[in-house]
Amino acid sequence: MIYGHSAHADNADELFLSARAAYNERNSAALDAAAQSLQSQHYILAPYTEYWRLLLVLNQADKETVQGFLAQYDAFPFADRARGEWLKALARRQEWKTFFEEYPKFKRDDVAVSCYAADGGIQQGQEAAVLDGKALWMTGTELPANCEAVFDRLQQGGVLRAEDIWARVRLLLQGSRITVSKGVLQRLPGVDKANLKLLDRVYQNPQQVLEKRQISFVSRLGKELNLYALERLSRSQPALALDLWEKLHGNFDAADRNYLWGRFALHAARKHDPAALTYFQRAGNTPLDKDQQEWKARAAMRIGDWKALESIIAAMPETQQSEQVWQYWKARAFKAQQQVAAANAILVTLSKNNTYYGILAEEELGDVVTALPAAYKPDAEEIRVALNNPGIQRGLALRRLDMKWEAREEWRLASRDFDDKQLLAAAEVAFREGWYDVAINTADRTQALHDFALRYPTPYRDMMHGYAADNALDEAWVYGLIRQESRFVSWAKSVAGASGLMQIMPDTAKWIAKRMGMGDFKPAMINQLDTNLKFGTHYLRYTMDMMNEQPLMATAAYNAGPGRPKRWASDKPLEGAVYAETIPFSETRDYVKKVLGNSIYYSQQLGSKPQTLKQRLGVVPGIGAPVNPERD
């Protein structure tokens, strides 16, 4: 360990943790005593106790006290959080002069603060605040309660009109946010609790609502609820939804019909329905959101209509077109139509990126399996300077005390303006500490100088090599998967409950243990490094067997379950890159691209058999192709 500490430091650590407990219990006397003691000892994390002390009195603190604190601790990540809480307190007290003095200094993305700023700005007669408030309104997510005051002012001023309310309702219903939709609908005249119960009925059984015509089409609310019922049904039973649509479409005007065709098209494209592009055409000039634009492109890609793909990408907003994914597929569309010069102009630029699309672009240009560039290794002095950085030291100290979020925030802020050499020195410090995820994230940020051993580390290799060999797995692929799953954080646990380096779900662990004949298995064992790697590699072998030795499909199966990848195949062989790009689940789509991209760098680093990314992606067999039976 680089960051050592003495028995005296251990005592200070205990006092610091007791100070945090006092803050959580709102025991200001105990917190004050601990803070004063830690300050007198010049304890490295003592400023955090001052932050907690301020938070306990923030609602009553005067301007000079808070500004003095912010000036003194400006270099700390908690300073901006404190400023955000102070801004909220100022807004609640309607102290707009001080609020707008401090607001430009606030750097965090906090919607509650943004709503206060818009509300205060409107009260101050700022025209820009009206536009800010309108922009905040148009979202498909739930907003903090204080935002309602802004929207009340906008509605009272005639800026937030009925059409704006309906537009947001549609956004919310697209995400099935029923409760929030009900609140928004109450801004419309004539909407009562009985009307809102109809929304529950549509959500629970759209088929019954439509077939029995339970909701009239006379009112705007009735039409919107029927549109939502049709869209909701199209997600699970598209044929039935289309059949009902043919009977009901006369109840809607042209704009509504176009809107619904656009929604039908999106869901059809996600289901790989060849008719998706036709549905998009029937949507006419209805505006398409980002998701619809992308799935329209994927629908063309899926059926190999390169000319259509080119025009679809060209119709995207400039910011969307400039994303690596669409730059790559635009180049592929050009190349498929023999526009080689135009394709290469894009590919050359794209190939300079150390990313999934950068690798594919390089391979399209003909430079395949090139060696990694020479690594820059920081010297002892550069590492010493990094280690002596106060933010780096605080990050290491906070990690030692298991304050994970605070540790990462300290590191992020400390390294925010580092150049490549400083980033690599800091990454080396994190690596030596076994803080692998931070080492990777830091090394990933370099622009010209790189160290791929830090970007793609191989910890636990003695153990990993054996398990990969036992299961006849490509070690580079396994490492690429772990890097994406957990960044080598052995205690990592997902929101869904997956655990360890290879993020194994509890039920999957029990199934693997039974399959391996482990009668003494206990759920806690999955958190043990050895067991996690043993189970994870065993399950990877299982997915490879189930997916006919296709690494792409096996990777998708590891993330989304073994039943889905086969359903995502086409009726004929499909290029692996197209299959990966058209996976319906955004999480799995991103996952497989990153895992297989990682495996290229790991393969070069481990000296594995050279293999291009296209070879790793392979060709996905058509539906009905023979698949290996499960091995015993």
Q: Are 503 and 494 in contact (CB under 8 A)?
A: yes
Q: Which of 310, 363, 409, 485 is catalytic?
A: 485
- By C-alpha distance, which of 396, 448, 348 is closest to 4? 396
- By C-alpha distance, which of 69, 64, 113 is closest to 87? 113
Q: Are 484 and 588 in contact (CB under 8 A)?
A: no
- By C-alpha distance, which of 465, 487, 462, 489 is closest to 476? 465
Q: Are 361 and 328 in contact (CB under 8 A)?
A: yes
Calpha distance 67→203 (Å, rounded):
50
At 296, the amino acid letter reads K
Q: What is the DSSP string of 616-627?
A: HH-EEPPTT---
Q: Are 416 and 442 in contact (CB under 8 A)?
A: no
Calpha distance 424→383 (Å, rounded):
9
- By C-alpha distance, which of 184, 134, 129, 123 is closest to 159? 134
Q: What is the DSSP string of 114-173?
A: HHHHHHHHHHTT-HHHHHHHHHHHS-SS---TTHHHHHHHHHHTT-S-HHHHHHHHHHHH
534 CB contacts (<8 Å, ≥6 apart)? Answer: 467
3-class secondary-structure state, position 472: coil
Measured CA angle at 364 (ends 363, 367), to 5 deg = 40
Tokens representing 413 are 């802020």
Cβ neighbourhood burial of 490 (10 Å; 0-12, 13-18, 19+): middle
Calpha distance 388→422 (Å, rounded):
12
Instruction: Report the b/e string of 441-462 with b at 16+ CB within 10 A.
Output: bbbeebeebbbbbbbbbbbbee
Residue 355's φ and ψ, nearest 5 degrees, are -135, 175
Active site residue 163: no
Catalytic residues: 485
